[in-house]
Each structure stands twice: as structure tokens, then as C-alpha cells.
């Protein structure tokens, strides 16, 4: 290994997957230990002394390899959508980049008993199952968006014998695997506050836990809070808080420009999520 320079190691490692980069980083100190090589300099100016202090970020060879690949692959828009937080691992960001921007959208989790994969080897397609009773089931993609714009499209296939409909959109990430919670799940009506990242101690009128579009007439629906407020909790609030909480116990439908009902057997719904502007557009 002594015959290989650090630049050679980085060049060869750039052909590896993020998983293999991590495995190589754990294999020996030379690849995994952090040092100053390839680090970036940052300056911090003091308010009183006006002195400029510099530091060299410590980073391993495999981290340098992951960062190098990212700089060569991502567009400016993709880079803005994946801002690095502090000393976050470049290998982790590289893996997230591939999942979000280079791989097809997958439904990693199926919640409820009335949904399954069309093909167990392909998690990009799901279908509903007619059971003995009507249960709401949900297919969830685990991708978590950080910033910027993100687009996605959903392809729907209606039954030939009778018309069905689906609901698609975006929801907040959860702190736990919600597949273990219930036989059925509908983020529009179920209380998911126990697994939400959101703090429900205070009422927030502008935040939204999920925003979805139904293929039935194309109507939009939002759920501002997943928490179902109990009567005792409502009585402890002042009048303004109580009114707001009562409204947030249920989802709220809304119309949007371009919405329409379709009789097509095969159709597609596209969406663009803009986290910087706080909007979700459909077409």
C-alpha cells in the first residue's frame, strides 16, 4: 500500500459505492482516520479584535473520495438541495444523493393490510388489496428532503371492472417505524403525534403535517397537525387555541389551479416540492 499515494487511493475509491467507501474506511487507519489533507479552510472574524482565525477541517481519505465524486456529479440545483450540516459525513451525503437524485423513487414501507407490492422484487410499484373490510393503507417513501426543489410523478392504474382512486403527496418524517403501530394507516385522519418529529406542546397554525392530492376530482387535502386533541386538553386552552385545535383535529380540503377529474384507466400525477418557498405544486 505504501506505493499508492493518497491521490491514487482517492482516485480509485471514487469508483466505489458509498457502502464500499465506508467499508474501506473501517478497514484500516490510513483510509478512515481523519487528517488535514484535502480539508477546506474557513475564517471566523471576531467582533472586537477583528482577528481572523483559520482552521483546517479534518477529513479521511474516503471522505475526500466521496466529496470528490459529488463535486463531479451533482448539478448546482442538486448541491443546493443537499446542504451539509456541520461536519456531516460526505459518504452519507453521497449515499443520500444517489437515493434522492439517481435512483427511482421506492416505497420502502407499507403500512396496513390492504396494500402490497406488485412484484416483491420491485418496490417502485404497489397495489391495493380488497379485504373483508375497508382499511386505509399507505405506501411510504423514506426519502427526506432537506432544501431546494424536488419533483416526483405517480402512475395510477384503475381497475377495469370498477373505478378506484388513490391519494398521493408528502408527509413529515416520523421518529419511529409506523409499520409497527397499526393494521391500517391514513395520515389524513389518524393521530400520528406519538411518532412525529414535531413538538405539539404549542399550537402552530401555519405548519402542515401532510399535504395530499386525491385522484377523485383532483381535490387537495392538508392535515395541519397529526395530534387529536382530547376534550380535557381542549378545555385547558384559551378560546383562540381551542378553535384552532378543533379545526386541526380533521383534514381540510382545498381546490387548486389545474385540478380535474379523470376517467382514464392509466394516468399520471406530477408534483414539485419547493422547500425554500414552502409550496407543493401538482399537474
pLDDT higher than threshold 70 for residue 1: no
Whole-number average pLDDT of the chain: 79
Residue with cell 460526505: 90
CA 64 to chain CA centroid, Å, is 26
Domain membership of residue 51 (yes or no) is yes
Higher pLDDT, 44 or 59: 59
Measure the N-to-C terminal CA separation of the chain; round to a whole number of Å: 55
Return d(Cα 25, Cα 122) in angstroms, integer.
31
Residues 145 and 276 in one domain: yes
Q: How confident is the model over 4-19, as a mean pLDDT?
A: 86
Domain membership of residue 1 (yes or no) is no
Give the residue from 44, 76, 102 where a domain finishes.
102
Residues 78 and 138 in one domain: no
* pLDDT in the model for residue 195: 78
Domain hosting 77: range is 6-102
* pLDDT in the model for residue 50: 42
Residues 141 and 176 in one domain: yes
Give the closest residue to 181 by CA, choosing from 169, 202, 196.
196
Give the residue from 67, 102, 137 where a domain finishes.
102
* pLDDT in the model for residue 40: 45
Confidence of residue 17 (pLDDT cuts 50, 70, 90): very high
Least confident of 4-18, 19-33, 182-196: 182-196
* pLDDT in the model for residue 116: 85
Going from the C-alpha of 56 to that of each of 34, 39, 59, 96, 239, the distances in angstroms are: 11, 6, 9, 25, 55
pTM of the model: 0.70
* pLDDT in the model for residue 275: 87
Residues 218 and 278 in one domain: yes
Least confident of 72-81, 115-124, 202-211, 218-227: 202-211
Tens-place pLDDT, residues 122-153: 888 888 877 666 678 888 888 888 898 888 88
* pLDDT in the model for residue 55: 46
Percent of the chain with pLDDT over 70: 80
Return d(Cα 175, Cα 187) in angstroms, integer.
15
Residues 153 and 209 in one domain: yes
Tens-place pLDDT, residues 54-95: 445 678 889 999 999 999 999 999 999 999 988 889 999 999
Least confident of 36-40, 69-73, 205-209: 36-40
For CA atoms 13, 19, 22, 27, give the dihedral sign: negative
Half-sphere exposure of 203 (CA within 13 A, CB side): 18
Q: How confident is the model over 156-162, as a mean pLDDT?
A: 66
pLDDT higher than threshold 60 for residue 47: no
Cell of 31: 483510509
* pLDDT in the model for residue 257: 76
Residues 152 and 64 in one domain: no
Domain tally, the chain: 2
Tens-place pLDDT, residues 166-194: 788 888 888 777 777 666 788 888 878 77
Highest mean pLDDT, choosing among 9-23, 125-139, 205-219, 241-255? 9-23
Q: How confident is the model over 220-247, as a mean pLDDT?
A: 81
Return d(Cα 82, Cα 30) in angstroms, integer.
28
Give the closest residue to 100 by CA, choosing from 132, 159, 141, 55.
141
Amino acid at each position: 500500500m505504501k506505493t499508492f499515494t493518497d491521490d491514487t487511493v482517492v482516485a480509485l475509491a471514487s469508483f466505489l459505492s458509498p457502502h464500499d467507501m465506508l467499508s474501506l474506511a473501517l478497514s484500516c487507519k490510513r483510509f478512515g482516520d481523519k487528517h488535514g489533507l484535502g480539508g477546506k479552510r474557513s475564517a471566523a472574524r471576531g467582533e472586537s479584535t477583528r482577528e481572523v482565525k483559520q482552521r483546517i477541517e479534518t477529513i479521511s481519505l474516503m471522505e475526500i473520495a466521496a466529496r470528490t465524486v459529488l463535486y463531479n456529479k451533482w448539478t448546482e440545483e442538486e448541491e443546493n438541495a443537499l446542504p451539509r450540516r456541520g461536519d456531516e459525513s460526505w459518504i452519507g451525503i453521497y449515499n443520500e444523493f444517489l437515493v434522492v437524485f439517481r435512483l427511482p423513487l421506492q416505497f420502502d414501507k407499507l403500512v396496513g393490510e390492504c396494500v402490497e407490492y406488485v412484484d416483491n422484487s420491485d418496490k417502485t410499484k404497489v397495489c391495493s388489496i380488497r379485504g373483508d373490510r375497508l382499511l386505509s393503507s399507505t405506501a411510504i417513501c423514506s426519502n427526506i428532503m432537506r432544501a431546494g426543489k424536488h419533483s416526483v410523478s405517480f402512475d395510477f392504474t384503475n381497475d377495469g371492472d370498477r373505478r378506484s382512486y388513490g391519494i398521493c403527496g408528502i408527509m413529515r418524517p416520523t421518529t419511529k417505524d409506523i409499520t409497527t403501530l397499526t393494521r391500517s394507516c391514513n395520515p389524513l385522519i389518524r393521530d400520528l403525534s406519538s411518532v412525529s418529529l414535531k413538538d405539539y406542546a404549542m399550537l402552530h397554525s401555519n405548519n402542515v403535517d401532510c399535504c395530499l392530492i386525491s385522484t377523485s376530482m383532483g381535490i387537495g387535502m392538508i392535515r395541519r397537525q397529526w395530534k387529536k386533541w382530547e376534550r380535557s386538553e381542549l378545555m385547558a386552552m384559551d378560546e383562540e387555541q381551542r378553535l384552532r385545535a378543533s379545526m386541526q383535529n380533521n383534514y381540510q380540503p382545498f381546490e387548486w389551479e389545474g385540478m380535474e377529474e379523470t376517467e382514464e384507466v392509466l394516468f399520471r400525477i406530477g408534483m414539485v416540492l419547493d422547500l425554500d418557498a414552502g409550496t407543493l405544486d401538482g399537474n
